[in-house]
Amino acid sequence: MPLKIALFASGSGSNAENILQYFSQNDKFIFPLIISNKANAFVHERARKLNVPSYTFSREDFSDGEAIVRLLKQQQIDCIVLAGFLLKVPLALINAYPNKIINIHPALLPKFGGKGMYGHHVHDAVAAAGETESGITIHYVNSNYDEGSIIFQAKCPVLPTDTPDMIAEKVHALEYEYFPKVIEDLWG
Ligand code: GAR
């Protein structure tokens, strides 16, 4: 039986696309749908191009969680991957999928995590703090932002001359390289 994974994404969706491309020839993993909290997020374009149905749920649906759990159960989803998903995951979802939800964070947690720390805010903070390294953290999701147990981290150097955009580029490269492999190792 292939493992059915739902992808959640709020914005561009480049990680979601990278994961779909990586597993496109692997019939042990299937990705029946993408869920977003933004109707105009670019991830929907990517989903259309790759023939993956994508759905948008409102902020209210996300804080309640029941409608999302219903859809996921209907589609017999086994696991959830947050690939650039920026809202808090509702308790209903965490309870329905215990230890089956993972997230990628674009920094070395526990540093630069928590509410409001997403996307470019993270890279701005890393540059402002004069860090000499950054990286990615892949972790289980629990009811607190960025606090679930860590599955994997990878690092990149940050130079004093690096802008937040330059840090973002290095971090994205790590995400594309490692996120699909970590999913494969974890659930393969
Ligand atoms: C990624 O860098 C991901 O790590 C980050 O959002 C970006 C989404 O890019 N996630 C968070 O900040 C979660 N706190 P993408 O939409 O191009 O994949």
CA distance 55 to 135: 30
Q: What is the per-residue pLDDT for 32?
A: 98
pTM of the model: 0.97
Residues marked active site are found at 105
* CATH architecture label of 3-113+137-155+178-187: 3-Layer(aba) Sandwich (3.40)
Residues of the chain with pLDDT under 70: none
Closest residue (by CA) to atom 14 of ligand 1?
118
Distances (CA, A) of 35 to 7, 15, 24, 133, 170: 6, 14, 19, 32, 26
Q: What is the per-residue pLDDT for 37?
A: 97
Distances (CA, A) of 121 to 114, 145, 165, 182: 11, 15, 11, 25
| Residue ranges lining ligand 1, Cβ < 6 Å | 9, 11-15, 83-84, 86, 104-106, 118-119, 122, 172, 175
130-179 pLDDT, tens digit each:
999 999 999 999 888 788 999 999 999 999 999 999 999 999 999 999 99
Determine how many CB atoms are found less than 10 A away from the CB of residue 110. Answer: 13
Q: What is the per-residue pLDDT for 104?
A: 98
Task: Tell me which of 115, 118, 152 to substitute to probe ligand 1's pocket, judged by most ligand atoms within 8 Å of the beta carbon.
Answer: 118
Ligand 1 atom having least distance to the Cα of 17: 18
Q: How far is the CA of 84 from the centre of ligand 1 (A)?
A: 3
Q: What is the per-residue pLDDT for 99?
A: 94
Closest residue (by CA) to atom 3 of ligand 1?
84
Q: What is the per-residue pLDDT for 146?
A: 81
